[in-house]
Amino acid sequence: MTTSAPAATGPHVLRQINVTAVLTALRQTSSATARVADLMTTTGLSRPAVTRALADLREADLVELIADDAARVGRPAQRARFRAELGHVAGVDVGPHKILIKIADLAGDILTTHRVTTPPNATGPDVFTLVSQALDQAVKAAGLTHADLWAVCVGTPGIVDREHGEVLLAPSIPGWAGLPVVPELRDRLHCPVLIDNDVNLAVLAERWQGTAIGVDSLVFVQWGERIGTGLIIDGAPYRGAHAAAGELGFLDLGLPPNDPTGRPAADEGTGPFERLVGAAAIHELAVAMTAGDRDRDLHAQLTRPGERDITPLFTAAAAGSPTAIAVIDRVAARFAQGLSALILLLDPEQVVIGGGLSRAGDTLLEPIRRQLRGRTLSATSLHASTLGDDAVALGAVRHALDATADRLAAS
């Protein structure tokens, strides 16, 4: 028979819990400083408990106390400031077309953003070299060195084994899966390195700085050529037993073979739902529905040589084109059919749409809202992301910041 070790108890444990609570409150404050009264409200602790915690944090050199210039009566009040400049983190967004890096201090304030375009046909090793070089450039641009980094988080497309720091599957970047990204970067940077699926990080960013701040039940759908989904359940990310939870792109709606995009599985690793409502499928549908005399101008824009841009479709719909509106209604119906399955299973408070398709805004989202009615049992708030291309890198920063908690606690 196994027995568990008794939990640590006593005043010293309670004092450390209080210190952690006050430190967390300081790091999350929207202003640079906080008064004791503010921290009491945020943490629920008494004034003596907050005061003792601040004294411990000051002794550890994590906090400085400064005079409150606004206090003019009686004994001068003090404000506490978390010394966010003590360390820094990096959030890295690795994709088939770009590498985006953000460097932040320990309060999450972004010092610099660095972007590199990924060359066409770049392989996994090529991408890793670009990531390493881009990190060096971003750190230098922030006026820092590798020694200033406390943690780095890499966001990547595909399925990720977070425990072993390995990308298991990444169809959009040939040769990326299986590369020792985490140990190689850890050896170069001499700090903890984490890796996670890009959409799982994007949903963290939406809850941290996006349209879903503080939302505890959230579905984030990255919608472009590919479709990925990030989930927050009861305030925590949910990835599933095999890190593949919520892979909406691989949902098979069982459409008949004569559907314009109801094709069999493709070799490039796209899922049935991606082949139904991904950007390429929308372009194909729009070309088919504008052919002939139905909308010659829009058809000409959609069939320009070497282009597959669907922006003209949404521009035409916003201008009132009946054919463009009909195309978008068809897309919305398909998308709502798949999204409603997730909503029925999870009953989220909010759904956020990110990725390239989110730029269409309500021209696309309003038909989806309409199509969702009657498919779900309760109304779910549906919004477009406001973070744009920054979502994954911001989520990586948030994850890296969370990883610094143990080092701060040990200070």
Task: Tell me, yes or no, whether 290 and 344 share the same domain.
Answer: yes
Average pLDDT over residues 135-149: 97
Query: What's the CA gap between 82 and 329, in Å, rounded?
Result: 51
One domain for residues 305 and 328: yes
- Tell whether 6 is covered by a domain: no
Q: What is the pLDDT of residue 72?
A: 54
Nearest alpha-carbon partner for 68 in 56, 59, 57, 77: 77
CATH number at residue 66: 1.10.10.10
- 52 and 11 in contact (C-beta within 8 Å)? no
Q: What is the pLDDT of residue 3?
A: 46
Q: Are residues 304 and 364 in the same domain?
A: yes
Distance CA 116, CA 120 (A): 13
**What is the spatial distance between Cα 195 and Cα 71, in angstroms, rounded to a whole number?**
46
Clarify whether residues 193 and 299 are in a common domain: no
pLDDT of 51 above 60? yes
Whole-angstrom distance, CA of residue 76 vs CA of residue 267: 70
Q: Are 205 and 334 in contact (CB under 8 A)?
A: no
* Same domain flag for 124 and 144: yes
Confidence of residue 74 (pLDDT cuts 50, 70, 90): low
CA distance 246 to 315: 31
Please check whether residues 218 and 189 belong to one and the same domain: no
Q: Contact at 8 Å (CB) between 114 and 138?
A: yes
Query: Which whole number is the average pLDDT over 358-384?
Result: 95
**Within this chain, do residues 170 and 317 fall inside the same structural domain, yes or no?**
no
Does any domain span residue 337? yes
Among candidate residues 30, 54, 82, the one where a domain is terminated: 82
Q: In this structure, are 364 and 286 located in the same domain?
A: yes
The mean per-residue pLDDT over the stretch 125-136 comes to 96
Residues 200, 101 within the same domain? yes
How far apart, in whole angstroms, are the C-alpha atoms of residue 115 and residue 122? 16
pLDDT given for residue 109 in this prediction? 93
pLDDT of residue 264: 44
Reported confidence tier of residue 265, pLDDT bands at 50, 70, 90: very low
CATH code of the domain containing 193: 3.30.420.40
Question: Which of 51, 82, 113 delimits the end of a domain?
Answer: 82
Residues 337 and 380 in one domain: yes
In whole angstroms, what is the distance from residue 258 CA to residue 120 CA? 34
Average pLDDT over residues 386-390: 94
The answer to the question of residue 285 being in a domain is: yes
**At 167, is the secondary structure helix, strand, or coil?**
strand
CA-wise closest residue to 99 among 132, 68, 76, 66: 132
Count of domains observed in the chain: 3
pLDDT one-digit tens code per residue, 169-187: 888 899 999 999 999 999 9
Beta strands in 239-395 (DSSP E): 350-354, 381-384
Percent pLDDT > 70 in the chain is 91
Kindly state the tokens that stand for 208: 């941290």
Instruction: Report residue 2's pLDDT band, with 50, 70 and 90 as the boundaries.
Output: very low
Residue 335 lies in a domain: yes
Looking at the domain assignment, is residue 150 inside a domain?
yes
Residue 244 domain-assigned (yes or no)? yes
Range of the domain at 97: 86-204+392-410
> Of 59, 82, 105, at which residue does a domain stop?
82
Please tell me the pTM assigned to this model. 0.87
Q: How far apart are CA 76 and CA 110, in angstroms?
A: 32
Looking at the structure, do residues 124 and 258 belong to the same domain, yes or no?
no
Instruction: Say if residue 292 is in the same domain as residue 256.
Output: yes
Reported as a pLDDT band with limits 50, 70 and 90, residue 266 is: very low
With respect to residue 170, please indicate whether it lies within any of the assigned structural domains.
Answer: yes
* Number of residues assigned to the chain: 411
C-alpha radius of gyration, the chain, whole number: 24
- Kindly report, residue by residue over 180-230, the tens digit of the pLDDT: 999 999 999 999 999 999 999 999 999 999 999 989 999 999 999 899 999
Q: What is the residue-averaged pLDDT of the chain?
A: 89
Confidence of residue 163 (pLDDT cuts 50, 70, 90): confident
Residue 347 lies in a domain: yes
Percent of the chain exceeding pLDDT 90 equals: 70
Interacting residues of 382 by C-beta distance below 8 A, sequence separation 6+: 350, 351, 352, 353, 365, 368, 369, 372
